[in-house]
A and B are shown apart, each in its own frame.
Chain A
Amino acid sequence: MHTFPRSVYSMSNIEDSHICVVMVGLPARGKSLIAQKIVRYLKWLSVNAKSFNVGSYRRADTPHPTADFFDTGNLEGERLRRAAAEAAVNDMLRWFEHEGGHVGILDATNSTRSRRAWIEERCKSKGYDVMFVESKCDDEDLIMNNILEVKTTSPDYVGQDPEVAARDFRDRIRNYEKVYETIDEPHLTYVKLINVSSQVIINQVSNYLQTRIIYFAMNLHITPRSIWLSRHGESEFNVLGKLGGDASLSPRGLAYAEALPGLVKDSVGDKDITLWTSTMKRTIQTAKHLTYPKKQWKALDELDAGVCDGLTYKEIEKKYPEDFRARDDDKYNYRYQGGESYRDVVIRLEPIIMEMERGSDIMVVTHQAILRCIYAYFMNVPQDQSPWMEIPLHTVIKLTPRAYGTQEERFKANIPAVSTFRAKYTSANMGGEAAIFDAERAKLPISGAQANGVITINGDVEAVPQKVGAVSVVGSLGSNGGTLVVE
Chain B
Amino acid sequence: MARAVVDWFGFHADYEYEYSSNDAPVSRLRRRSNVNIDAIHDFPVDSEMAPAQLYSTESGRLFHSGKIAIVTVGLPARGKTHVSVALSRYLRWLGVKTRAFHLGDYRRAHMGHGNDVPHDYFFVDASPSSVKLRQTILQKCRFDLYHFLDHEMGQVAIYDAVNPTAEGRKQLSKEFLKHEIQTIFIESYVDDPKIIEQNVRSVKISSPDYQGWNPNDAVQDYIRRMGAKIPHFETMDEHELNYIKMINAGERIIVNNCRFGYLPNRIVFYLMNLHIKSRQTYFARAGASTGEDSYKADGLLCDEGESYSQRLCNALLEHRRKEREEFIKQGGSDEELKPLTVWTSTRRRTVQTAAHLQERGFKVKQRPQMSQMNPGNSEMTEEEFKAHYPADWDKHQLDPYHHRFPRGESYHDLAVRMEPIILELEREKNDLLIIAHESVLRVLYGYLMACSTSDIPSLEFPRNKIVEILPESYNNRAKRIPIPHTDTNGAYVP
A interface vs B, CB < 8 Å? 9-15, 196-205, 207-208, 211-212, 214-215, 218-219, 295, 297-299, 301, 337-338, 347-348, 350-351, 354-355, 358
Contacts and interface: CB of A to CB of B under 8 A. Distances in A.
B55 A10 contact: no
A358 B262 contact: yes
Contact of A354 (B255, B262, B427): B262
B253 A202 contact: yes
B416 A12 contact: no
A10 B420 CA distance: 8
Contacts of B419: 9
B64 A354 contact: no
Range, interface on chain B: 35 or more
Nearest to B247: A203
Given A200-B256, A201-B254, 6 more contacts: A10-B368, A14-B366, A200-B258, A351-B54, A351-B63, A354-B265
Contact of A207 (B256, B421, B427): B427
Contacts of B485: none
A218 B56 CA distance: 26
Contacts of A207: 424, 427
B268 A12 contact: no
A281 B252 CA distance: 47
B255 A199 contact: yes
Nearest to A279: B57
A201 B245 CA distance: 9
Contacts of B333: none
A463 B54 CA distance: 36
Contacts of B174: none
A320 B139 CA distance: 62
B54 A208 contact: no
Contacts of A200: 253-256, 258, 268
B225 interface: no
A12 B421 contact: yes
A14 B368 contact: yes
Most chain A CB inside 10 Å of its own CB: which residue of B273, B367, B406, B420: B420
Nearest to A200: B255
B214 interface: no
A351 B266 CA distance: 9
A365 to B, nearest CB: 16
Interface in B387-445: 404, 406, 416, 419-421, 423-424, 427
Contact of B272 (A197, A205, A350): A205
7 contacts: A15-B365, A199-B255, A200-B254, A211-B423, A351-B262, A354-B266, A358-B265
Contacts of A348: 54-55
Contacts of A12: 367-369, 420-421, 424
B269 interface: yes
Given A215-B269, A218-B265, A358-B259, A208 B423 contact: yes
B135 interface: no
A135 B256 CA distance: 15
A355 B64 contact: yes
Interface string B29-60: 00000000000000000000000001111000
B252 A197 contact: no
B255 A218 contact: yes
B259 A198 contact: yes
Given A211-B269, A215-B268, A354-B262, A299 B55 contact: yes
A299 B56 CA distance: 9
Nearest to B57: A298
Given A208-B420, A298-B55, A354-B262, A199 B268 contact: no
Interface in B232-265: 251-259, 262, 265
Nearest to A307: B406
Most chain B CB inside 10 Å of its own CB: which residue of A11, A348, A351: A351
B255 A202 contact: yes
A358 B57 CA distance: 22
Interface string B436-456: 000000000000000000000
A357 to B, nearest CB: 10
A295 B365 CA distance: 44
A393 B252 CA distance: 49
A204 B265 contact: no
Contacts of B55: 298-299, 301, 348
Contacts of B269: 211-212, 214-215
A297 B54 CA distance: 12
Contact of A13 (B57, B265, B367, B416): B367
Interface in B319-369: 365-369
Contacts of A350: 54
A214 B253 CA distance: 12
Nearest to B54: A348
Contacts of B254: 199-202
Contacts of A9: 419-420
Given A337-B406, A338-B404, A198 B257 contact: yes
A321 to B, nearest CB: 15
Contact of B64 (A199, A295, A347): A295
Contacts of B262: 351, 354-355, 358
A133 to B, nearest CB: 14
B265 A219 contact: yes
Q: Which 4 A-B pairs have the closest CB atoms?
A: A215-B269, A12-B420, A200-B255, A211-B272
A215 B420 CA distance: 13
B252 A203 contact: yes
A201 B253 contact: yes
B64 A297 contact: yes
Interface string B170-208: 000000000000000000000000000000000000000
Contacts of A219: 265
Nearest to A215: B269
Contacts of B253: 200-203
A215 B265 contact: yes
Contacts of B268: 200, 202, 215, 218
B251 A214 contact: no
Given A298-B57, A348-B55, A199 B257 contact: yes
Given A198-B257, A218-B268, A355-B262, A203 B251 contact: yes
B256 to A, nearest CB: 5
Interface in B266-283: 266, 268-269, 272-273
Contacts of B256: 198-200
B348 to A, nearest CB: 15
A13 B365 contact: yes
A196 B365 CA distance: 37
B209 to A, nearest CB: 37
Contacts of B368: 10-12, 14
Contacts of B255: 197, 199-202, 218
A324 to B, nearest CB: 14
A198 to B, nearest CB: 6
A308 B378 CA distance: 21
A212 B257 CA distance: 19
B352 to A, nearest CB: 18
Contacts of A15: 365
A287 to B, nearest CB: 16
A416 B366 CA distance: 55
Contacts of A202: 252-255, 268, 272
A9 B54 CA distance: 15
Contacts of B424: 12-13, 207-208
Most chain B CB inside 10 Å of its own CB: which residue of A9, A14, A208: A208
Nearest to B418: A12
B369 A10 contact: yes
Contacts of A338: 404
Contacts of B259: 196-198, 218, 358
